[in-house]
Amino acid sequence: MRAERAGFDGVEIHGAHSYILCQFLSEGLNRREDRYGGNAENRARPINQIIQGVRARCRPDFSLGLRLSPERFDLKLMEIRELARQVLAEGRIDYLDMSLWDYAKLPVDEAHQERTLMGWFTDLPRGDVRLGCAGKIMTPADAQACLDQGMDFVLLGRAAILHHDYPQRLAADPAFLPLATPVTAEHLRNERLGPAFVKYMQTWKGFVAEPETELA
């Protein structure tokens, strides 16, 4: 409600990357013994209740998304697939954002490597809910590959950090390719990253070039 009152058109519920809702979903991290722990249905209860709460309190056209991680953090791929199936079928969100780490990778779980990690979600019925993904989508060819394999949209992380106007560049030039990493801190500042963000990106191995040392 606060985001709506502040003038935003929507929000995304972050249930990925080991943040608190992701920790609830994790059988390994969630040690609760009440109705929010134990089986997969209980561990997904906080996300479902948040979705219900947003829909009950915000206007009907307020955009609501959900982000999920399908593996790591002691998550089980088939549990996350079932949660994704449920939220897509219920239609209470507008879009589901799957953070795949690498859109082309196979699952870590060897029992489910007959298809890509993305493929475990693109076959789910989705009605009016849109399905998107993130994960090393750098070039226009990467984005097109995701769309060709059944995604409705893609999300840019590193690529958008390298070029804040990536969509406009691509629209103007279909052959556009983002800069290769590492890039300079000056480039990131020119792309409108603040000092704290530039410092954070310098902790990402291979993303920001080391400053050249002056010869004595």
Q: What is the pLDDT of residues 63-73, one digit of tens each?
A: 999 999 999 99
Give the pLDDT of the chain (216 residues) as one tens digit per residue: 899 999 999 999 999 999 999 999 999 999 999 999 999 999 999 999 999 999 999 999 999 999 999 999 999 999 999 999 999 999 999 999 999 999 999 999 999 999 999 999 999 999 999 999 999 999 999 999 999 999 999 999 999 999 999 999 999 998 999 999 999 999 999 999 999 999 999 999 999 998 754 343
In the chain the domains, ranked by start, together with CATH numbers, are 2-158 (3.20.20.70)
Helices in the chain by DSSP H: which ranges? 2-5, 20-25, 40-43, 45-57, 77-90, 119-122, 140-148, 158-162, 166-172, 185-190, 195-201
How far, in Å, CA of 114 to CA of 129, rounded?
A: 26
pTM recorded for the entire structure? 0.92
Decide if 19 is catalytic: yes
Q: What is the pLDDT of residues 20-68, one digit of tens each?
A: 999 999 999 999 999 999 999 999 999 999 999 999 999 999 999 999 9
User: And the tokens for 180?
Assistant: 């290769």
**Per the residue annotation, which of 19, 36, 166, 200 is the catalytic one?**
19
